[in-house]
């Protein structure tokens, strides 16, 4: 089976966030013909697939990662999301570029690396489209086993470029407390919804650090909720805010900036600002992989092409805390939207790039 056929098989498997059992079993079975596979339990989320072949102390340990979950099917699809459809160089299907094409590449390269006698670890994570709980679970498992990769290679889509770093992500809850009063005399109360709206309208005034490599982060309100079923002035409203950050920004500085913003609007409400309580994993830290790392430089030299840096986050933030991390994957478009597609020729090209890197050992 070639890499494109494997991509098609993966697309045909329903594996939306939280519903990944079938693809976990498929990938584990696909790898089991060359090494023993393990399924790492992620409480309440599913299982990550891990396969290891570490046999030569004189050679580096290379970790290959791809996530097995996809987002939900959104509105607007003109193709069947779970039926791989080819039109010219484009292979359509849910998760085709994000990131079943990349998972197929990682599986193929892993098998070939095992045959070459290289030290290689395959990690198929789940919950990447959620909280990266799978990535953190595997990190913990590797630390227990005292297995330390020398480089992490992730096959997420990068349009054939080499991604050497990206922003981090903090999620912040803002609780706005007002004062209840009869709705017919709202001036006697403090409407928490109105005050929350005033706060949200000023978010574009938050100071965003401009990093020399990653540029500036971002701020985006994700959810706002509050109100009452009676004719009363709402006394409580909650806001959930995404904050993408760059090196130099910390949880303390990010929340401190938001507290200053709340103080600046002259509100009679009070604002409680804290890390999001629902997220079960740590914040994702920004990272930059430099060419001072020998294996990172080797990858750049062997593969070639444009170097880029990401604006969003992924499991690569987690693995970058283990070892220097590089992301390199195929061309495609419409991920997280309708009619997602991946370039067939780009899948094949990326596979060859990884082969060249492994053969260089």
pTM above 0.75, yes or no: yes
pLDDT tier for residue 53 given thresholds of 50, 70 and 90 = very high
When pLDDT is averaged across residues 246-252 and rounded to a whole number, the result is 93
Q: Is the pLDDT of residue 318 over 90?
A: yes
- What is d(CA 237, CA 239) in angstroms, rounded to the nearest whole number? 7
pLDDT confidence of residue 145: 81
pLDDT confidence of residue 285: 94
- What is d(CA 285, CA 129) in angstroms, rounded to the nearest whole number? 16
pLDDT confidence of residue 342: 98
Q: Is the pLDDT of residue 282 over 90?
A: no
Three-state SS for 4-15 is: HHHHHHHHCCCC
pLDDT confidence of residue 14: 97
Residue 65 DSSP label = E
CA-based torsion, 284, 285, 287, 293: positive or negative: negative
DSSP 130-175: TT-HHHHHHHHHHHHTT---SEEEE----TT-EEEEE-EEEEEEEE
198, 191 in Cβ contact below 8 A? no
pLDDT confidence of residue 11: 98
Q: Is the pLDDT of residue 308 over 90?
A: yes
303, 328 in Cβ contact below 8 A? yes
242, 220 in Cβ contact below 8 A? yes
Q: For residue 335, give the nearest of 67, 70, 144 by alpha carbon.
A: 70
Encode pLDDT of 133-156 as tens digits. Answer: 999 999 999 988 888 999 999 999
- What is d(CA 324, CA 15) in angstroms, rounded to the nearest whole number? 29
Residues of the chain with CATH 3.40.630.10: 3-166+286-359
pLDDT tier for residue 186 given thresholds of 50, 70 and 90 = very high
Mean pLDDT (the chain) is: 96
Question: Given 3-state DSSP classes, what are the helix, strand and coil percentages for the chain, each rounded to the nearest 5?
Answer: 30, 30, 40
Q: Is the pLDDT of residue 359 over 90?
A: yes
For the chain, report the end-to-end CA distance as a whole number of angstroms. Answer: 25
69, 314 in Cβ contact below 8 A? no
* Record: fold of 168-275: Alpha-Beta Plaits (3.30.70)
| Domain 3-166+286-359, CATH | 3.40.630.10
pLDDT tier for residue 280 given thresholds of 50, 70 and 90 = confident
Encode pLDDT of 151-183 as tens digits. Answer: 999 999 999 999 999 999 999 999 999 999 999
pLDDT confidence of residue 119: 96
Helix (H, G, I), strand (E, B) or coil at 75: coil
Encode pLDDT of 209-232 as tens digits. Answer: 999 999 999 999 999 999 999 999
pLDDT confidence of residue 57: 84
* Triad 306, 310, 316: Cα angle to 5°: 105
Q: Is the pLDDT of residue 20 over 90?
A: yes
When pLDDT is averaged across residues 298-311 and rounded to a whole number, the result is 95
pLDDT confidence of residue 58: 85
Residues of the chain with CATH 3.30.70.360: 168-275
pLDDT confidence of residue 139: 95
Q: Can you read off the two tokens belonging to residue 339?
A: 């009619």
Which one has a higher pLDDT value, 58 or 201?
A: 201
CA-based torsion, 33, 36, 37, 39: positive or negative: positive
């Amino acid at each position: 089976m070639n890499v494109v056929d494997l991509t098609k098989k993966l697309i045909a498997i329903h594996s939306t966030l939280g519903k990944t059992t079938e693809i976990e079993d498929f990938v584990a079975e696909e790898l089991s013909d060359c090494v023993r596979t393990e399924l790492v339990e992620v409480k309440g989320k599913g299982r990550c697939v891990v396969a290891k072949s570490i046999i030569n102390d004189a050679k580096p340990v290379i970790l290959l990662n791809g996530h097995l979950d996809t987002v939900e099917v959104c509105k607007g699809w003109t193709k069947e999301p779970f039926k791989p459809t080819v039109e010219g160089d484009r292979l359509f299907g849910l998760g085709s570029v994000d990131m079943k094409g990349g998972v197929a590449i990682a599986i193929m390269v892993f098998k070939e690396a095992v045959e070459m006698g290289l030290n290689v670890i395959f990690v198929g994570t789940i919950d990447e489209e959620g909280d990266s709980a799978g990535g953190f679970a595997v990190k913990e498992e590797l630390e227990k086993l005292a297995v330390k990769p020398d480089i992490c290679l992730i096959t997420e889509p990068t349009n054939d470029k080499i991604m050497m770093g990206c922003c981090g992500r903090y999620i912040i809850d803002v609780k706005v407390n007002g004062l209840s009063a009869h709705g017919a005399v709202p001036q006697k109360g403090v409407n928490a919804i109105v005050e929350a709206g005033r706060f949200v309208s000023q978010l574009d005034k938050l100071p965003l650090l401009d990093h020399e490599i990653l540029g500036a982060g971002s701020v985006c309100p994700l959810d706002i909720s509050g109100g009452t079923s009676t004719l009363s002035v709402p006394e409580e409203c909650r806001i959930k805010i995404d904050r993408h950050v760059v090196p130099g920004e910390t949880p303390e500085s990010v929340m401190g900036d938001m507290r200053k913003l709340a103080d600046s609007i002259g509100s009679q409400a009070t604002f409680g600002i804290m890390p999001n309580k629902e997220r079960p994993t740590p914040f994702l830290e920004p990272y930059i992989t430099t060419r001072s790392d020998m294996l990172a430089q080797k990858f750049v030299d062997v593969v070639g092409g444009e170097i880029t840096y990401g604006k969003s986050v992924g499991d690569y933030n987690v693995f970058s805390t283990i070892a220097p991390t590089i992301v390199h994957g195929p061309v495609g478009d419409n991920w997280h939207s309708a009619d997602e597609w991946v370039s067939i020729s780009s899948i094949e090209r990326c596979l060859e790039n990884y082969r060249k890197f492994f053969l260089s050992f």
